[in-house]
Structure 1
Amino acid sequence: MSLMSLATGLVHASLVLFDPPADGRSADAATAAARGQRIMLQFNPEQLAVRRSATWTRPAGSGGNAGVPQPEFAQAGATSLSLQLFFDATTALGRRVEHDAAALLDCCRPARDKTVPRWAMLEWGTSTLTRFPAVITTAGVTYTLFAPDGTPLRAEATVELEEVGGSLPLTNPTSGGTDLVGAHGVHHFTQGDTLAGLAYHYYGDPAAWREIATANPSAVTDPLNIKPGTVLVLPRLGASRPGPVNHG
């Protein structure tokens, strides 16, 4: 039985905010995100809308009976992601809806030099659907329930993200992700993370969880019981690394 099949509990999505790498390369986003601010979502999104566009041009025809020229690719548009979030303090003791909303609205503030936008990434388990560095173009909150003293108790939020662009981290199993050169640095383990999930995200191979565990002997004494907040070093996987480990 694999480690992933043992960890079948609910995985909470999180929105990670971080300053862009100094050189602006989106390929280094995973390293920057590992040190960023993580907003754990109270409820997982029920829907994710992912959109991608492209620009096509039609060259001038030769006239006569040549017909309509076929379109030619001009450029790709940025991938966009939109989602709705819900906040509820009626059943969560000590939770403040306005604090969650303020953190979300602050996502639209600029980064370190007050001109460059902060980058964001939606992380949800091992899914690679939303794992691209993006900027938050819109964050809106609608309060729907209040306490007698006016304290917001429930709210709905809409978030729009737009892809930064450029080269992306190798997270696809078919993209050569197992030949990374230690570019990922460290990862702060959070509720819902699994070693196999991290191995898939950073290396494109869930079987690489053993190598993460081996690189962190003091932090990983039980692969199925790692405390949230634990900092894990992400080891270098060389090109000579053997095929997937049988961890059944």
Structure 2
Amino acid sequence: MPVTKTDTSSASLTHASLELLEPGKTPGVPGPKIGEIKFQMNPKELTMSKSASWKVEKQKKASSAPPATYQGPDPQKLSVELFLDDTRGGSGDSVVTRVEKLFQACAPTKDSQRGDTPSPPWVRFSWGVLAGFVGYIKSVSAKYTVFSPTGTPLRAVCTVALEEIAEEAGKQNPTSGGLKPRRLHVVREGDTLAGIAYREYGNAALWRQVAEVNGIDDPIRLAPGRSVFLPSGDELAGPAGRATARAEVARVVR
């Protein structure tokens, strides 16, 4: 069993816990604490992972694999087990009640249901140097292992999977002030300006500004291998910025 038995009389003992927080209005900034799920026994191990997304546009006529395009980092993940035991009684809520609290953490909070964006509570994993991981519960599974003579669960092992909540907003529409570094995109078979604009700026409607900057008359017919200049957000926001970007295209691309 992946748990570490601890002496609860020790003054230096710190129990792991999952703090339940009201969903925040600002990315990475949670609301007030609305509950807490404490570990009876600290976990012996936990798993943290981090990955990135890459996209490969397959080309039927290509003789080798095309280059991959970096799409951005994926949320950090944390998986941990909770050991729940009530075989001796007197531990407060029953095992079933504590498991139900974990399941309820996957449902929207009452306050968030009153608004336009219902959301389950955010969760802060707290334990020693790992305290401060803020995310949401992606999944919960409970395995009951010991039962009373009447069939009441007395012991369970719960696996909780968490995903981090970003501390900053994602890409913004350049007209609202979001910035994107300049770069060149080499057109691959199947690319469209709307698709490129969506991947780069999060707004497919900006294909017109990208077309204007690059002097593209027919946005539907993009020749594979052509370089498309992708300006910053400020440059797309107004005529003066796009004029600067066109000058850069003349210098770099052509």
TM-score range, shorter chain: 0.5 to 0.7
* Structure 1 gaps, min length 5: 1-6, 169-248
User: How much does 1:125 deviate?
Assistant: 2.4
Partner of 2:151: helix, strand, or coil?
A: coil
User: How much does 1:141 deviate?
Assistant: 1.1
User: How much does 1:119 deviate?
Assistant: 0.7
User: How much does 1:57 deviate?
Assistant: 4.8
User: How much does 1:132 deviate?
Assistant: 2.6
User: How much does 1:24 deviate?
Assistant: 3.1
Please name the residue that 1:142 is paired with: 143
User: How much does 1:107 deviate?
Assistant: 1.0
Greater RCO, CA 8 A, separation 6+: 1
Pick one of 13, 24, 27 that aligns with 1:25. Answer: 27
User: How much does 1:70 deviate?
Assistant: 6.5
Structure 1 CA distance, aligned partners of 2:11 and 2:74?
36
The 5 Å alignment of 1:232-243 reads none
1:72-115 Cα shifts (integer Å, max 9, x gaps): 53311111111111111123524421121111111111122332
Larger Rg: 2
1:204-224 Cα shifts (integer Å, max 9, x gaps): xxxxxxxxxxxxxxxxxxxxx
Structure 1 CA distance, aligned partners of 2:57 and 2:38?
49
Partner of 1:9: helix, strand, or coil?
A: coil
Pick one of 71, 77, 81 that aligns with 1:80. Answer: 77
Please name the residue that 1:186 is paired with: none
More helix by share: 2
Partner of 2:130: helix, strand, or coil?
A: coil
Question: Is the Cα–Cα contact under 8 Å of residues 107 and 139 in structure 1 kept in the other structure?
Answer: no
Structure 1 CA distance, aligned partners of 2:121 and 2:15?
22
The 5 Å alignment of 1:151-190 reads 151-167=152-168
Please name the residue that 1:52 is paired with: 50
Go from structure 1 to structure 2 and tell me whether the alpha carbon gap of 1:73 and 1:152 turns closer, same or farther (over 3 Å shift). Answer: same
Between 69-78 and 10-19, the greater mean CA deviation after superposition: 69-78
Please name the residue that 1:105 is paired with: 103
Question: Is the Cα–Cα contact under 8 Å of residues 107 and 119 in structure 2 kept in the other structure?
Answer: no
Question: Is the Cα–Cα contact under 8 Å of residues 141 and 155 in structure 1 kept in the other structure?
Answer: yes
Question: Is the Cα–Cα contact under 8 Å of residues 90 and 154 in structure 1 kept in the other structure?
Answer: yes
- The amino acid that maps onto 2:18 is L
Go from structure 1 to structure 2 and tell me whether the alpha carbon gap of 1:100 and 1:58 turns closer, same or farther (over 3 Å shift). Answer: closer
Question: Is the Cα–Cα contact under 8 Å of residues 18 and 37 in structure 1 kept in the other structure?
Answer: yes
- Is 1:125 equivalent to 2:128 in the alignment? yes
Between 152-161 and 114-123, the greater mean CA deviation after superposition: 114-123
- The amino acid that maps onto 1:106 is Q
Please name the residue that 2:198 is paired with: none
User: How much does 1:13 deviate?
Assistant: 0.3
- The amino acid that maps onto 1:84 is E
RMSD over equivalenced CA pairs, Å: 2.9
Please name the residue that 1:11 is paired with: 14
- Is 1:93 equivalent to 2:93 in the alignment? no
Structure 2 CA distance, aligned partners of 1:10 and 1:43?
11
Please name the residue that 2:119 is paired with: 116
TM-score by length of 2: 0.52
TM-score by length of 1: 0.53
Structure 1 CA distance, aligned partners of 2:47 and 2:139?
14
Structure 1 CA distance, aligned partners of 2:101 and 2:65?
52
Partner of 2:42: helix, strand, or coil?
A: coil
